[in-house]
Amino acid sequence: TDTLSCQQCTTKCTRCPIDDPNCIVACEVTHAYNDGGDCVCPDNSSPYDDTCVCENNFYNSASTGVTCSACTTGCQRCTSKEDPDCIVCTTTYAYEDGSRNCICPDNSLESSGVCVCTNSGEVMDCSTTPCQCVACPTNSSPYDNVCVCEAGYYNSASSGLTCTQCTTDCERCPIDDPDCTVTCKITHAFNDGGDCVCPDNSSPHTSSCVCEAGY
């Protein structure tokens, strides 16, 4: 005789109407489908508030229904339930494009959870949305993802970055000193608004500030 073995459905299901002899179960979770009698969500998705939603690191690439494709960069489900297709980009500087995929800005690639500009001399600028890779101004170069004046130059602009040659020899500050602008290399020279200058009535001579003639 035939035996009956009832297995719990993978997603919520109910008995079919008694007047539908060909039906096995009815799937209650939106986008779930009958797979050999069981109710399952599409690949790489799982039930979330009675609908199949793509799992972390996947996004719904289908215009209708659910087709979960791997995000280009890190992503995860939103905690909000209003939009089942909502994702959050977890890679720094990545953004959600028109297809709801998380991608890095143009000319950048993900590296250790951060979108990094691939062109030499560019840094990530997030003054616009999405962020974009921009070239550093003249006489500056990337320094910990910030454009900083190169050795021998200081920032003479009150806002932004304009690298002007130091009056006396100077170099970049150590990266662990965020408040420093330049380091003066000439003995007795001092930082004057970012520039390295000798005291009044003196000028650099070899490696030191020396009093001028008559002083």
Domain membership of residue 12 as a residue range? 1-40
Mean pLDDT of the chain: 85
DSSP 28-55: -SBT-EEETTEEEPPTTEEESSSBEEEP
Convert the pLDDT of each residue in 39-58 to its tens digit: 899 999 998 888 999 999 99
Q: How far does CA 161 lie from the centroid of its chain?
A: 23
Helix, strand and coil content of the chain, in percent to the nearest 5, comes to: 0, 40, 60
Residue 89 maps to a domain:
yes
Convert the pLDDT of each residue in 171-203 to its tens digit: 876 655 545 667 888 899 888 887 889 999 999
> 203 and 171 share a domain?
yes
Share of the chain above pLDDT 70, in %: 87
What pTM, to 2 d.p., does this model score? 0.68
d(CA 188, CA 179): 21
Convert the pLDDT of each residue in 59-102 to its tens digit: 999 989 999 999 999 999 887 767 888 899 999 999 999 889 99
- Count of domains in the chain? 3
Q: Examine the fold and report which residue of 99, 115, 135 is the final residue of a domain before the chain moves on.
A: 135
Q: What is the pLDDT of residue 149?
A: 85
Taking the alpha carbons of 69, 74, 78, 83 in that order, is the dihedral positive or negative? negative
Q: Examine the fold and report which residue of 75, 109, 135 is the final residue of a domain before the chain moves on.
A: 135
Residue 19 maps to a domain:
yes
Q: Examine the fold and report which residue of 109, 135, 161 is the final residue of a domain before the chain moves on.
A: 135
> 110 and 145 share a domain?
no
Residue 45 maps to a domain:
no
> 90 and 155 share a domain?
no
Q: Report the alpha-carbon angle 164-170-175, nearest 5.
A: 100
> 128 and 58 share a domain?
yes
> 205 and 146 share a domain?
yes
Q: How many residues belong to the chain?
A: 215
Residue 49 maps to a domain:
no
Residue 46 maps to a domain:
no
> 85 and 113 share a domain?
yes
CA atoms within 13 A on the CB side of 83: 9
Residue 114 maps to a domain:
yes
Q: Read off the pLDDT band of 1 (50, 70, 90).
A: very low
